[in-house]
Structure 1
Amino acid sequence: MLAKAELSQDFTILGRQYKKLVAALLEVVNMPGIPMEVSPDDRGNFRGFDGNHFYVVERGSLSARYQGKLIYVLEEGELLLPDIAGTQEESAAVHFSSDAGARVTSYSALEFMRQVFDDPAATRLWTRLLITYSGLMLRITSGSVEDEAGATPGFEVYEPGEVIIRQGDRADYVFNMSAGIAEVVVDDVPVGRIVEGEIFGAMAALTQADRSATVRAKTNCSVVKVPKEQFTELIKRNPATIHSLLIDMANSIVNLNEQLVGLRG
């Protein structure tokens, strides 16, 4: 994904992650799509966010315009997500065009989401994709204004031994482990671990409590951090996020039980 505004390096990193997540999700869902050709045009001839379909760019690129202004460019392998506002009012729609022409594959949004909800692995990928997409869109938005108001999702890298979350600190962010392994420690006692794809730090953020554990990188870790207010909105709009959270919390409980059994033994 390319943005019109000058953005930081983590936008590029998130863009690569977004493309990888799209590819992984399509592989898990394994649903046939319908190919569509987008004719060369620079006026916004393709209204992609119709609410009934998802689209994946297979060849070429698409320029996204809102109210006539170029906002970003979707490249090969990237996914167009429905925009509810654009389906209700033409003036609020995001329009796409391609100077040289492009090919996209169309998927029924309803059937696609049915398959996502039926498969825990797909649900987890979908949640990670939404978090990454949210980070990309918020960076594009913040890059278009001079003074950024409020926090936006960040992408951070931690070396082994570095603390990602510290016990007792205020919970302002929810995290997604993009790559790596981290250990969970309570009062200097290891009680579990966090692996790639897991969402963590959500419980304290959602309950307004302080951090109940320290999370420390065990290997090199790449982490997406999302402000708790934005994560709350994500949950309200996407039930799949709740499903993924429950899976991660259940895994955490299993890991904790295993640790307790080991300590007693």
Structure 2
Amino acid sequence: MYLLGEQPAYADQLISRLQSIPGKLLDGLSPCGEPLQVERSENLASDLPSNQLFIIDNGLLHALVDERPLFYLQEGDLVGLRQGIDLPSCRYTCDEPLTLIPYARSDVFKHIYASEPRQELFIQYLVGHTALLSDALARIKQPEIRPATGFKHFAKDDALINQGDEADHVFIIIDGHAQAFVDGVKVGDVQKDEIFGAMAVFTNEKRSATVIASQACTVMVIPKDQFLSLMESNPRIAHSLVESMARRIDLLNKEITGLRQSS
């Protein structure tokens, strides 16, 4: 198995070591049939018998998880371990000819468990692949918000943000209540758990309103870049933001309607 993208040196070393294990696991076991030639496949798992495992003798097999390319299997890799197990979808495709050597699934496991050294190798093989995927996830995962450096406390009447300021952070009121003002005129309230300050982040413009604490507030402060990354990776945050903006637009419309009626 080889993960897509650039790998650190230690990952390359582990991949090389894992690549040699399937051959050792199957040493002394005869294939259950002639090599299988696959010219092209969009879903190889559906084309293969579930009672067999295969060693890739030649060619590349691409793996897609949730339809996203994640890794590929190459010569010496074992194919078919996922067959018959209820796991998240993983689709294998090949665009060029692929040669697979078939082994009876039951015979493979009997062969492995008949020898303690082979059992140990098999464990190394499974754990090694898990480690590779975990390491890749750790390297691409966005950093979490760290509460120790991401919270600020404001007293009543303190300005949380000021109209005309640069927009380099987004905020969430964790506790308390605030009010939004444009040119000194109140245009809305900011409730607990609401996200504010995002509009200017999206438009790359200066703050369009001043937000003042109407009571003591605790606010989570999220850097702009981190917030945009969180928006992409966490739909709940996006949903909360849409709700917050919708409430503010509704309140602003009511304010405008009230002003028109009183004039």
Q: TM-score band (shorter)?
A: 0.3 to 0.5
Q: TM-score, normalised by structure 2?
A: 0.47
Structure exhibiting the larger radius of gyration computed from Cα positions: 2
Q: TM-score, normalised by structure 1?
A: 0.47
